[in-house]
Amino acid sequence: QQDDLYTQLGGEPGISVIVEDFTLRLADDPEIVTFFANSNIDLFVASLKDQLCDIADGPCRYEGPPMDRAHQHMGLTDAHFNTVVQHMQAALIRQEVPVGARNQLLGRLARLHRDIMKLQ
């Protein structure tokens, strides 16, 4: 029996480190960091941790705004989306998340693409 996705991500401490690493990568990317100019990064980090834990079938519930409402005013392109997903992939590799779990999580995030890119 293989560990579930949440466990393979390292549970809550693992997800914490992944989100911190991911957020530093966003902050280091001039194309992306501008979107966060008016953001409360602590709230973003807390919200994303809940969301990843939830998506990985962990014991958390994401209670922030739906993905369309959180992003629809930003004028995001597919290129932005892909860049952000690549930063997540890099964070997962850095934290030595096994390849199967990595692809599973990225697949679940990819399903959010339609909502995140929805306009109006």
Please identify which residue in 17, 21, 76, 108 interacts with ligand HEM, judged by CB under 6 A: 76
**Alpha carbon distance 43, 14 (integer Å):** 18
The alpha carbons of the chain give a radius of gyration, in whole angstroms, of 14
Instruction: Look at residues 11, 30, 18, 1 and name the one whose alpha carbon lies nearest to residue 109.
Output: 18
Q: For ligand HEM, which is the closer residue by CB, 1 or 38?
A: 38
Asked if 48 is part of the footprint of ligand HEM (rule: CB under 6 A), the reply reads yes
Q: Which of 4, 33, 36, 111 binds ligand HEM (CB under 6 A)?
A: 36
CA dihedral in degrees (74, 77, 79, 84; nearest 10)?
A: 30
- Applying CB under 6 A, the span of 8-16, 17-25, 35-43, 94-102 interacting with ligand HEM comes to 35-43
Closest of 21, 83, 27 to residue 52, by C-alpha? 21
Q: Does 39 bind ligand HEM (CB under 6 A)?
A: yes
75, two tokens: 């004028």
Please pick, from the candidates 20, 21, 60, 64, the single residue that binds ligand HEM as defined by CB under 6 A.
64
Query: Which residues make up the interface to ligand HEM (CB under 6 A)?
Result: 32, 35-36, 39-40, 43-44, 47-48, 51, 64-65, 70-71, 74, 76, 80-81, 84-85, 109, 112, 116
